[in-house]
Amino acid sequence: MTATENRTVPPFGLGTFRLKDQVVRDSVRDALDLGYRAIDTAQGYGNEAEIGETIAQSGVKRGDLFITTKIKPDNYGEGKLVPSLRESLDKLQTDAVDLTLIHWPAPNGPVSAEEYLGALADAHSQGLTRQIGVSNFTIALLKQARELLGDVPIATNQVEIHPYLQNRKLADFARQEGIHLTSYMTLAVGKVMEDEVLKDIAGAHGATPAQVALAWAMGQGYSVIPSSTKREHLASNMKALDLKLTDEDMERIAELDGQGERLANPASVAPDWD
């Protein structure tokens, strides 16, 4: 695969937020062994080197993998972004990642969107990343990003979406504009496991509430990147790919919207949410 070849963002992958040291090594190793082929990380997670080592030791061909990383706000400056991505590539032991995202819009930060999106586009033109995208962008910020990036497409906007925060206004806009969404925290940090509605739907399908939540998100066209430190949960989550929910199931889950607070909302970098 050449560095400029585009690939669709996979519907299902492994998230590595909060996973460090041997924990992330074990999680990535088990996931690859089970058949996961998309890995999501970020500079801010502090685990790129461990992930790179584990991938190298796995024997899985680089061309079979879809690796995503994210640029942290400290590296948004024009003179920092490309060098920081090269450092990420060294840690991940690859010549190019499949997707690089701006991690947070940082509206009150010292670097403008024009500067950091321009630097990200430059990284793309240099072949350091096959696709580029954003994370935690609102409708207004997506419009601005599209204008600034011009012909360079936004591969995805990675945002918090789970049954209790369905982000419908943003989702409707993205759907109308053909912008793909990736859902993070799809399991609401475990809250879905205890939800009576999801447990009832799961029981009808011989599934788990986690599988139901993941299938619900994928059923709307979102990609999902659940994480786990337990091999059995990694295997179980993957079965969501084969779970087909009914229209009634989807309607029941839609009614759960608004029952949970936003889980990821750091004041220093979060935008004015839709």
Q: Is 180 annotated as a binding residue?
A: no
Residue with tokens 């680089």, as numbered in its chain: 62
Please say if 45 is a catalytic residue. Answer: yes
3-state secondary structure 88-137: HHHHHCCCCEEEEEECCCCCCCCCCHHHHHHHHHHHHHCCCEEEEEEECC
Closest residue by Cα to residue 191 from 171, 213, 175: 213
CB burial string 236-265: b at 16+ within 10 A, e below = bbbebeebebeeebeebbeebeeebeeeee
Q: Which is catalytic among the residues 36, 45, 116, 164?
A: 45
The helix (run of H) or strand (run of E) holding residue 147 is helix 139-149
Burial of 219 (0-12, 13-18, 19+ CB in 10 A): middle
Both structure tokens of 76: 């948004």
The helix (run of H) or strand (run of E) holding residue 39 is strand 38-40
Active site residues: 45
Which residues are known binding-site members?
Answer: 103
Which residues are known binding-site members for substrate?
Answer: 103
